[in-house]
Amino acid sequence: MENDLAVIANLFGEPARAAMLLSLMNGRALPAGELALTANVSPQTASGHLSKLVQAGLLAVETQGRHRYYRLAGTSVADAVESLMALAHSGHERKNAEPPAEGTLAYARTCYSHLAGWLGVRMTETLEQQGLLLPAQGKAFAVSDAGRAWFQELGIAIPAARNGARENVARRCLDWTERRPHLSGTLGVALARRLDELRWIAPIRNSRAVRVTLEGKQQLWKLLRLPLRG
């Protein structure tokens, strides 16, 4: 067990591999060449790093023609990266009550496939305050009857728990910039996808950051009384 932990810690701790893992936190699959540029290493060096990450089960790889595309192996890997980022920034807790600047990772970003940053945390806290999400065992949320109605009105069906794994439907994920949890799990993914479909949020090119559209600001104020600028 100790050796396994040391191996994983070493994989996360190498700067080039850490850069690759962070670049995949938006849930997309990227080719080896792009990951090499991100990590500022040669293609040959990147290939060695990627091979180790795949062998350790941190990355999955798909081949399309002559190209190989890499992505995080699952949400557990994304959660681990986010938790490590939170530890790395544990001495830099944000004291200012004002939200970070719009367009920054700290304001709103994707954490794998769910919404993180100040916006993700504020939405989660408001859903709890309104009794739509309820504390549950461990890192899980329960969804109240009122919460089910709220999500369904937004166009989101509450995902069924697979194999009894109810904790994977709605989960707490510690946000590394806010040091408070945002909503993850299949419900968190569905919420972020729905906000994107409604064009209430939009990705910022070449970044995990997202922006909130004018329509999104108006609708989120109506639904949750979120004090978004604009």
Give the pLDDT confidence score for residue 33 in this predicted structure: 92
81 in a structural domain = yes
pLDDT value, residue 213 = 96
Q: Are 59 and 29 in contact (CB under 8 A)?
A: no
Together in a domain, 117 and 182: yes
Q: Note the pLDDT of residue 166.
A: 54
pLDDT, residue 123, reads 97
Which of 73, 89, 119 is where one domain is finished?
73
Residue matched to tokens 């916006």: 119
- Alpha carbons 131 and 228: distance in angstroms, whole number: 21
* Cβ atoms of residues 119 and 220 within 8 Å: no
Structural domains in the chain (count): 2
Q: At which of 25, 52, 73 does a domain end?
A: 73
Domain final residue, candidates 58, 73, 88: 73
Helices 214-224 and 117-129 pack at an angle, to 10 degrees, of 20
d(CA 59, CA 69): 10
* Gap between the Cα atoms of 106 and 207, Å rounded: 12
C-alpha closest to that of 70 among 82, 57, 79: 57
Range of the domain at 67: 2-73
Are 220 and 213 spatial neighbours (Cβ–Cβ below 8 Å)?
no
Same-domain pairing of 63 and 94? no
Q: Does residue 129 share a domain with residue 68?
A: no
In degrees and rounded to multiples of 5, residue 100 shows phi and psi of -65, 170
**Tens-binned pLDDT, residue by residue, of the chain (230 aa):** 556 678 888 888 889 998 899 888 877 889 999 999 989 999 999 999 999 999 999 999 998 888 899 999 887 788 788 778 777 766 555 555 678 899 898 999 988 889 999 999 999 999 999 999 999 988 899 999 999 999 999 999 886 655 445 557 899 988 888 888 999 989 999 999 999 999 999 999 878 899 999 999 999 999 999 888 65
CATH number at residue 15: 1.10.10.10
